[in-house]
Structure 1
Amino acid sequence: MTACNLPPATSPYNTAAFTTPESNPTRHKRGIATPDKLWPQHSVLKIALLDMTDAQKTLVKANIRKWTPHTNLHFKFVDTAQGDIRITANNTSTAGWSYVGTDAKNASPSEPTMSIGFGSSPERIEAQVVHEFGHALGLRHEHQHPDRTLVFDDDEVYKDYESRNKTRGEAYHDILRKSHRSAVKTSPYDEKSIMHYSFSRPRLKSPSEIPKPLQLSEGDKHFIQSLYPQDSTPVGQLIYTLMKVLIKADRPPTA
């Protein structure tokens, strides 16, 4: 796995446009991450949910919280639009996008930093939320891992993009390009990662197919834990628990 890759620093990262052919008119820690886009350790991240129904908010919160046990971060959902991460709903799209990690700070305060497409099945929407929030934590797309083992048919990837009025440059950037090892922190390539796109033939030569991951893999859990390690000492666990209580009570931590 790697920590995440982005177009220009001020641009959101379109992360779900290629998940399926239909989706766009010992134990190793695994993953990819961009170290300079990680949030400060033990941060309290305020998350604003914008333009969502109550049911949509419930779904988004539940799936963001799947990351919670595996980091030292605290997620505080706020009722205002003044969040560190601001998530909007797109009810006509199946795709989502997100700024990567602290690049969210470059967005205008009046604009969202993430979008969730609610135009597909509940199972896929849930997976999309987990995937997009992985980007918000600083993770890259797993299929662009420097050590990926999958083999693309480049011509078929280009052909697919051109059939959807996209450029060869976009195809290379989104799919074929590998992350530069010097720019990312990695663990072993994980084709089961929630940060991996699904692929099948003819775009893929080998293996014949990579199904769409719908849940955090064990590699995802261990990799994000290595990026945001919890303090396992009794004092560290006490402080972490106290922070959770204060956040739930809507009280700021004291100095």
Structure 2
Amino acid sequence: MTGRYCSLTQAPAPAFTAGLGAERLGALVGGRRMWVNGTVLHYCFFDGQADASVIPVPGSGETRRVSWVGSERQRDVVRAGFGEWHDLGIGLSFVEVADRSEAELRVGFQLGDGSWSAIGKDALRTGINDRTMNFGWDLTASGGHGTALHEIGHALGMQHEHQNPYAAIHWDDEAVCAELAGPPHHWSRETTRDNILRKLSPAEVNGSVWDPQSVMEFAFPPGLILEPEEFRGGLNPPGTLSPADKEFALRWYPPLAARPALVPFRSAPLRLGPGEQADFTLEPAETREYTVAAFGDCDTVVVLFEERDGEPRYLAADDDGGSSRNARIGARLVKGRRYVVRVRLYSGWGPGETAVMCW
């Protein structure tokens, strides 16, 4: 990725209830973009003539269309990137689909628009006719596979590693802004600040130790980093998944375990730590309206899936993070079908037990 950097659009800060304790707020900030484990993420590539951006032609007052369609060779690089993350044994899986309305992740290849991705569940805020990920240079060139791994890392919820507050990087701010103001980026000072100089909060970062070998780290030429001294001559990560990258993915998305049954009118204790998840199978004995809800002083996200042809398909979700209520889902369930209930805990903030129940 030497000389070409990922540029992320800053999402609006979440509005949490005032007065939340620091530990509870940190858990919400750190987990709000993460997918529930076991999710099947469907991705598609744009492939039509209408799939394009309309951009101005400098000095002419006219516009032109710039395609989002990538070559099959470039698509293969992205497919290989999804495959490498999946082959770690994580609990997420990736399925390519042709219908963009079925895709949580929609991949474009607009040259000159930079490479970027929505972070984790922020992709769900994007309309079905828009990109959630873009590759702005040729992925078949050197470093292309690392670029694909990097952007997919964002789609899993990972942030830029050089913005880790534990990195203790002392930048030459003016040199960084001057470097990024020129080609090939042409970034404003604001974009440079947001993607390079700004430190993330400890709750947002991938780990409590800076990992200069991370695939989420940029390569920097000499003269931009003043401290640590060993990186004054430049920083050159290999563009591969580091041990810490793998640990992060497996911590948030561990291999799926056997699911106990969620029996109507019987409370199932959660006994989860912050960021952990419990999964249940629900097989209704009759067709009717059901309610699935969490209980206790806790911040959770509850997601309901229906198994179709062996694949869990999203039905409904509720997130009570930062509120005084508990997550609750109402849905009509059909006898003879199998459903999956996934409960991820942000944090428990009271002395009582947390649980999930359906009725």
Alpha-carbon offset, residue 169 of structure 1: 2.7
Q: Secondary structure at the match of 1:7?
A: coil
Larger Rg: 2
Distance 1:118 1:185 in 2: 26
Find the counterpart in structure 2 of residue 127 from structure 1.
146
Distance 1:120 1:73 in 2: 24
1:224-243 aligned within 5 A: 224-231=249-256, 235=258
Does the Cα contact within 8 Å between 1:117 and 1:125 map onto a contact in 2? no
Q: How many residues are aligned here? A: 214
The equivalent position to 1:111 in structure 2, one of 107, 130, 151, is: 130
- Provide Cα deviations, 1:216-242, integer angstroms capped at 9, x if missing partner: 1111111111111224x5x47xxxxxx
- Provide Cα deviations, 1:54-86, integer angstroms capped at 9, x if missing partner: 322222111111111332101111112221000
> Aligned Cα RMSD in Å?
2.6
Q: Residues 94 and 250 of structure 1: is their aligned pair in 2 closer, same or farther, counting only changes over 3 Å?
A: farther
| Higher relative strand content | 2
1:1-255 aligned within 5 A: 7-9=10-12, 34-50=30-46, 51-70=69-88, 71-82=90-101, 83-90=103-110, 92-93=111-112, 95-119=114-138, 121-163=140-182, 166-184=187-205, 186-205=207-226, 206=229, 207=231, 208-231=233-256, 235=258, 252-253=311-312, 254-255=338-339
Q: Residues 78 and 250 of structure 1: is their aligned pair in 2 closer, same or farther, counting only changes over 3 Å?
A: farther
Alpha-carbon offset, residue 172 of structure 1: 1.9
Does the Cα contact within 8 Å between 1:196 and 1:213 map onto a contact in 2? no
Alpha-carbon offset, residue 109 of structure 1: 1.0
Does the Cα contact within 8 Å between 2:77 and 2:139 map onto a contact in 1? no
Q: Residues 6 and 115 of structure 1: is their aligned pair in 2 closer, same or farther, counting only changes over 3 Å?
A: closer
Amino acid in structure 1 at the alignment position of 2:36: P
Q: Residues 220 and 185 of structure 1: is their aligned pair in 2 closer, same or farther, counting only changes over 3 Å?
A: closer
Q: Residues 108 and 157 of structure 1: is their aligned pair in 2 closer, same or farther, counting only changes over 3 Å?
A: same
| Higher relative helix content | 1
TM-score relative to the length of structure 2: 0.54
Distance 2:180 2:131 in 1: 27
Q: Which has the higher contact order (CA 8 A, sep 6+)?
A: 1
Identity of aligned residues (%): 26
